[in-house]
Amino acid sequence: MGARLRSARKAANLTLKELAARVGVRPGTVVSWESGQRQPSVEQLAAFAQACGADVAWLVTGRSPETALAEQLRKLAAEVSSLSAALDRWAAERPPAYWGSPTELDSVVDEAVEEAFRQLRSVRNAPESELRAALSQALRKRLGGRV
């Protein structure tokens, strides 16, 4: 992380003294971060990123926000694909009469959405309400509009 901190400071054309003043620490503290001897606190890292115009995720992980998002989307797509396949198998094994009333179907969909959320919490990057709505809509569509 130290090399990324140094790179961000230099890209912002800030001296050690200028950056330290903006973050509220001594220049020696910035040197210790950039050399990897110490780690900034979360608050200090946020102030550092703001002062340099850098992304906190990149400073910490070295991955661009786009790369991290693409990875999250890839994982989400794999989970949704797995859920879709399981739902296809479930629907194929049961005749429509088995599914019961629309209320029972709503219950099946709601349970599937809850299970999906238990599995997807670690990779979601959207508000929960948007993911719930998208999953519910996808499940209802997958059930052939029967819900």
| Radius of gyration of the CA atoms of the chain, in A | 24
CA distance 22 to 6: 15
Is residue 49 packed enough to be buried (19+ CB in 10 Å), middle (13-18) or exposed (0-12)?
A: buried
CATH architecture for the domain at 2-61: Orthogonal Bundle (1.10)
Intervals of CATH 1.10.260.40 along the chain: 2-61
pLDDT tens string for the chain (147 positions)?
Answer: 889 999 999 999 999 999 999 999 999 999 999 999 999 999 999 999 999 998 888 888 887 666 666 666 777 777 777 777 777 776 667 666 555 566 666 676 777 777 666 666 655 556 666 666 677 777 766 666 554
**Residue 59 CA from chain centroid, whole number:** 16
Q: Is the pTM of this model over 0.85?
A: no
